[in-house]
Structures are given as C-alpha cells and as structure tokens.
Amino acid sequence: MGDYYPTEVKKRIEILNKYEEVDKLYSFNILHLYPKELAFPNGYYDSNFFELIAFNTNTMQKINLGRHDAIDFFDILSGEGIEITQASVYADGSFLIKTKDMILVESNCQRIYMRKA
C-alpha cells in the first residue's frame, strides 16, 4: 500500500489482510471488488472487469472468486433480492459490499450470481 496514505487509513484498509485465504468458502457476507481493465470487447461494454474477493466475518476467511464484470444479487430460489447493508469505496479505489445475510455463489461465470446461504 502506498506511503501516501495516513496511518489511520492504512490500518482500515489492511484489516482485510487479517483474513485467512482458503480454497473453499461456502458462505460470506462481504464482497470486495478490485477494479481491473475495461471489459470491452469481452464483457459488458459499459463495464470494467474486477477481481472479486469474498469474506466470511464469522470464520475470518476469504476466497478469491476470480475476474468478473457484473454481480447479480437476486436469489433465484426465493425470488427475493439480497439485502445490501453497506457499500463503500476504499481509499485505494476498491469497493466493499456488505450483505445482511450470509450469501453464496449460485453460478460463477463472467457475470457472477449470488443467493442467500
């Protein structure tokens, strides 16, 4: 992380590094999106790709869910949307999305689909 961030800011961003990275994680309630290159011509033309990391605040574990260009927060099993309780842009330009309930991946393709766990 750049030296240009005040110490207080660095501490907040580095909290995500305290999570243990695992190969399998079946539920999570925080998504962190790291912007990448323009999705055109291989994705949604109006989007950038992003690297998606999912965090489980109960187990303090995280998993890299790969590169995507969209997230769908509609639970196709229940027919309801997934409630988002927080969305913020970090100082480093990445995005954090927190959900009310634990969620899981329904379909992991270029556009990733989530549902309630």
Residue 2 lies in a domain: no
Q: For residues 49 and 25, what is the distance between their CA atoms, to the nearest angstrom?
A: 22
Residue 11 lies in a domain: yes
Q: Which residue has the higher pLDDT, 95 or 91?
A: 95
Residue 27: pLDDT band (50, 70, 90) is very high
Structural domain that includes position 28: 7-116
pTM, two decimal places: 0.86
pLDDT for 6 beyond 90: no
CB 25 within 8 A of CB 56: yes
Within 8 A by CB and 6+ apart from 95, the residues are 32, 33, 35, 50, 87, 88, 89
DSSP for residue 15: G
Residue 38 lies in a domain: yes
Residue 53 lies in a domain: yes
Residue 57: pLDDT band (50, 70, 90) is very high
pLDDT for 2 beyond 60: no
How many domains does the chain contain in total? 1
